[in-house]
Structure 1
Amino acid sequence: MRGLKKEARLPTVYEVIGVLILFIVIMFGFINLLELPIQLALFTSWFMVIGLGLWIGLRYKKLQDGLLQGISNGLEAVLILITVGALIGTWIAGGIVPSIIYYGLSVISPNIFLFATLIICALTSLATGTSFGTAGTAGIAMIGIGQSFGIPLPLVAGAVISGAYVGDKLSPLSDTTVMTASLTKVDIIEHIKSMLYVSGPAFGIASLLFIFVGFFYVGNSVDLTRAEEAMGALQGQFNISWYMLVPPLIVIALLAMKQPSIPTITFGAFLGVIWGFAFQGIPFLDAIQTSYQGYSIDSGIEFMDTLLNSGGMVSMLEVILLILLALGLGGLMEAAGILHVICQTLLKWADNAGKTTLTTLIAAFFGNFFGGAAYVSVITGSKITEENYDRLNIDKRVLSRNTEAGGTITTPMVPWSDGGVFMAVTLGVSTMAYLPFLWFHFLVIIITLLYGFTGKFIWYTKGKEYTENYEDSTVNTTKFEA
């Protein structure tokens, strides 16, 4: 009997609850009590999940395969991080970011700055389909302008990220938009139309909130002397001119023409090298070096130095490690059946449109919280809850819309997800600091739930027959292959 292999099984609900509680304890203890890096907390959590997997009969090889698959699913985000780091470094050295900040200070009124930030980032992300690219270009420029005006940076970051995720959610060029439409088998245009019922009101209300805060809070506290000092410092350090805006226009145009993000952003970084050499008088090899090491400046103004001493691939190394660890943890949880048990438990409870909407939001959020990436969240949100939409004859356009609301939208809300880490590092504002100002994101979630529980804009299929087939689930509900 000793030689018999232990049959693998799914973890019980109580085992899953225990793991989730322990995960939260590890994260809180490492970060808040012991003041250890979040990377160590995630790495420690790997072995907690591996221990559970071995306990329920899984072989280590299967768990390791799940870990590697989880990392593989998010490698595109890692590559984008590397290229954006290079782009930020060369665009600062080439005078591109300083010129955008200078002209922004010249033409944007402090009263409407937050609203303008929301609109500019929304238009950029709609044209390019990338929230990362938007934050790494227009976003850091808006942070610089806001800092020069003396506006609290978490508030500015909230406007930047809110605008950036409008396009990440609605643009037909966005990878998450295309991926969600594909997973739910919904035409991409119909998917976008469905989301407009939620995103339109959310964006309108968020715009009013940023306008209100701009006029009644920011407008009364801005010291324009600081902005004038920043403009003088920028002119003293860089050649400021209209042709510094050419590289951003080229990059945005290429992305709008559906060119791949990674080579396009890399080309933008190369343009920054050319601009630094041709217009800023930087030796060519030094200009290339800024793509790796970032840019260094001593303007004599502390907040400007803090903003412009950044960029380079090196600046993204800790971020990349964090994302890899988070992705690996998500892969382990998927391999151990933890996410499956959670979502199956939710499915048993969801017997109407409102509860089904809530389960999709939760399932997608779990993909970000435990999987660390938007790609994981749209998979957990769509594939695990789709059978409930079939059972209740709810149109798949509702599923696709709800998946984006729970997945794409919540990505920058999780400190260790790829979106949360990228926004915090790129904008220089921690996730928990900017979180209260993600007004567009919160409004999307609230309106989505409101529609679900009131039945508003919930469409049902007619004249179609659906067959429930729970045996075709991607994870066996009784046992695993060890």
Structure 2
Amino acid sequence: MGKTSSNALALIPFAIFILLFIGSGILTGDFYKMPVLVALFVAILVALAMNRKADFQTKVSQLTEGGGHPNIILMVVIFLLAGAFAAVASGMGAVESTVNLGLTYLPGGWMVVGLFVIGCFISISMGTSTGTVVALAPIGVGVAEQTDLGLALVMGAIVSGAMFGDNLSVISDTTIAAVRTQGTEMKEKFKANFLIVLPAAIITAVIFAIITADASATLEENYTYSFVEILPYLGVLGFAIAGINVIYVLIGGIIFAGAVGLALGKFSGMEFVTLVGDGFANMQTLAMIAILLGGLVELIRKNGGIEFLLQAVSKRVRSNRGGEFGIAGIVAAVNLSTANNTISIITAGPLAKQISDEYGIEGRRSASILDIFSSSIQGLIPYGGQILAVAGVASISPVAIVPFCIYPMLTVLSGLLAIVFRYPKFTVHKKTRKLKKVS
């Protein structure tokens, strides 16, 4: 099969989607005016009308191929299971008890910082940002309801914590993809990556502490909680930290929460089944967005849009530092277009490797740059799976959450500063001395 030719016009459908989804919200002041699915479907129709060399049936097949990609379907399954777990856990009192426990021992101003830190810990242990946000989002909603903290702020803290581990965990798909495409070792990439993003994580915690310093609970009375009702969340978090597959974690969480709810008389067997069904229903729109967006991206790729982005950035590289900026720009551009950081690394990885070899960039360095900029962009786009997931649980606009995704913003800054100041500096291995001198 021949290589896809570059075509800037192939990006028009994606531009239309952004204009309809975000532009209409900016113009009207209401991001709910334009439903995401409608904007997405209009963009797909435009994409299908392009590329006259292919017949309509072929283009439809490309659409379904993209929507049915294993990563997309896995995301859909996770969304549905997360919705079911959230509904069952809420129905048996887990969310309320967990929030009340936190309010009992933590001042209101520390709840957001606590959620961010817990998100960091879970995501680096679990290796998935999506699994982290769906586990913490229901708790975040409860925290916002019991305090004067805004829903968007709390959800932003959860997304921030989730992206920390997504970028660093040794079992994360993005980390594995970055290491494999750049031909380096996991431990070397982790060291370089950690030193770059640690300041961003610390500053993020400080910022959340400052902006929520005056937060307080809306009620002055003592908060009651039941430790037994908290067990399902402790179980989910515990298995997540142990690195168990997120599918097993969520299925186990649903069963565990259902068992506790039945034992405590919170609901009957049929009511438990209804809660599971309601949880699935709550995530149906989100699942459709993921499938249709995957189909749109595949149409754009087949029409040459992704190839255009790769070539547009890479041809401007002229030096070692320019090569690093080029790698960052390539993976960021692809991630903006695909809304999937793992796919963006796999797509941009081979070209990043070529640039690294040409301009003497170490593998651990290029792998870190790939992972940092893909994960940070993923944590900032309102049509990305992570923000869509928390927005779905919180029933708010995903655009409203973006300004509070502080950690992804700071990792972009940290990554850029690391390139400018060549931080961190490691001893160059003998095998890299044959590469071009740093300019």
TM-score range, shorter chain: 0.7 to 0.9
Q: Which residue of 1 aligns with 2:414?
A: 447
Matches within 5 A, 1:294-373: 312-373=279-340
Matches within 5 A, 1:176-187: 176-187=174-185
Output the CA distance in 2 between the equivalents of 1:397 and 1:60: 44
Q: Residue 10 of structure 1: which of 1, 5, 11 is its match?
A: 5
Q: Which residue of 1 aligns with 2:98?
A: 100
Q: CA deviation at 1:246?
A: 2.2
Matches within 5 A, 1:140-155: 140-155=138-153
Output the CA distance in 2 between the equivalents of 1:386 and 1:65: 32
- Greater shift after overlay, 111-120 or 96-105? 111-120
Residue 88 (str. 1) matches residue 86 (str. 2): yes
Change (3 A) 1:395 1:258: same
What letter is aligned with 2:49?
G
| Deviations, residues 91-147 of structure 1 (Å, cap 9, x unaligned) | 111221121011111111123232222212222222322323322233321332233
Residue 401 (str. 1) matches residue 401 (str. 2): no
Matches within 5 A, 1:40-189: 40-54=38-52, 57-60=53-56, 63-71=59-67, 72=69, 73-189=71-187
Output the CA distance in 2 between the equivalents of 1:46 and 1:288: 36
Output the CA distance in 2 between the equivalents of 1:458 and 1:339: 33
Change (3 A) 1:190 1:58: farther
Q: CA deviation at 1:405?
A: 1.8
Output the CA distance in 2 between the equivalents of 1:364 and 1:409: 11
Q: CA deviation at 1:230?
A: 9.3
Q: CA deviation at 1:328?
A: 0.8
SS in 1 for 2:412: helix
Gaps (5+ residues) in structure 1? 1-6, 294-311, 468-482
Q: Would you say the 8 A contact 2:83–2:283 is kept in 1? A: yes
Q: CA deviation at 1:464?
A: 5.0
How many residue pairs get matched? 428
Output the CA distance in 2 between the equivalents of 1:269 and 1:70: 30
Q: Would you say the 8 A contact 1:74–1:327 is kept in 2? A: yes
| Deviations, residues 163-199 of structure 1 (Å, cap 9, x unaligned) | 1221222222333333333333332232222210111
SS in 2 for 1:74: helix
Q: CA deviation at 1:411?
A: 1.6
Output the CA distance in 2 between the equivalents of 1:121 and 1:28: 27
Gaps (5+ residues) in structure 2? none
Q: Would you say the 8 A contact 2:93–2:229 is kept in 1? A: yes
Output the CA distance in 1 between the equivalents of 2:141 and 2:324: 35
Q: CA deviation at 1:17?
A: 6.4
Output the CA distance in 2 between the equivalents of 1:440 and 1:248: 25
Q: Which residue of 2 aligns with 1:436?
A: 403
Output the CA distance in 2 between the equivalents of 1:385 and 1:16: 22
Q: Which residue of 2 aligns with 1:287?
A: 272
Q: Residue 413 of structure 1: which of 369, 380, 395 is its match?
A: 380
Output the CA distance in 1 between the equivalents of 2:399 and 2:211: 20
What letter is aligned with 1:382?
G
What letter is aligned with 2:298?
G
Output the CA distance in 1 between the equivalents of 2:121 and 2:4: 49
Q: Which residue of 1 aligns with 2:219?
A: 227
Q: CA deviation at 1:420?
A: 2.5
Q: Would you say the 8 A contact 1:135–1:427 is kept in 2? A: no
Q: Would you say the 8 A contact 2:174–2:345 is kept in 1? A: yes
| Deviations, residues 318-352 of structure 1 (Å, cap 9, x unaligned) | 01111111111111111111111111111010223
| Deviations, residues 220-274 of structure 1 (Å, cap 9, x unaligned) | xx3x4x234794xxx5xxxx42122322232233333333211221111111111
Percent of paired sites with the same residue:
20
What letter is aligned with 1:145?
V
What letter is aligned with 2:309?
I
- Greater shift after overlay, 284-293 or 32-41? 32-41
Q: Could you state the TM-score of these two structures normalised by the residue count of structure 1?
A: 0.80
What letter is aligned with 1:158?
G
| Deviations, residues 451-478 of structure 1 (Å, cap 9, x unaligned) | 11232236666535999xxxxxxxxxxx
Q: Would you say the 8 A contact 1:74–1:373 is kept in 2? A: no
What letter is aligned with 1:68?
T
Matches within 5 A, 1:190-201: 190-201=188-199
Q: Would you say the 8 A contact 1:117–1:160 is kept in 2? A: yes
SS in 1 for 2:379: helix
Q: CA deviation at 1:315?
A: 0.2
Q: Would you say the 8 A contact 2:383–2:398 is kept in 1? A: no
Q: Which residue of 1 aligns with 2:229?
A: 244
Residue 375 (str. 1) matches residue 342 (str. 2): yes
SS in 1 for 2:300: helix
Output the CA distance in 2 between the equivalents of 1:182 and 1:423: 30
Change (3 A) 1:182 1:263: same
Q: Which residue of 1 aligns with 2:431?
A: 463
SS in 1 for 2:171: coil
Q: CA deviation at 1:53?
A: 2.3
SS in 1 for 2:423: coil
Q: Would you say the 8 A contact 1:125–1:165 is kept in 2? A: yes
- Greater shift after overlay, 413-422 or 267-276? 413-422
SS in 1 for 2:431: coil
Output the CA distance in 1 between the equivalents of 2:3 and 2:58: 11
- Greater shift after overlay, 60-69 or 126-135? 60-69
What letter is aligned with 2:410?
L
Q: Would you say the 8 A contact 2:104–2:222 is kept in 1? A: no
What letter is aligned with 2:373?
G
Change (3 A) 1:244 1:64: same
Q: Would you say the 8 A contact 2:152–2:400 is kept in 1? A: yes
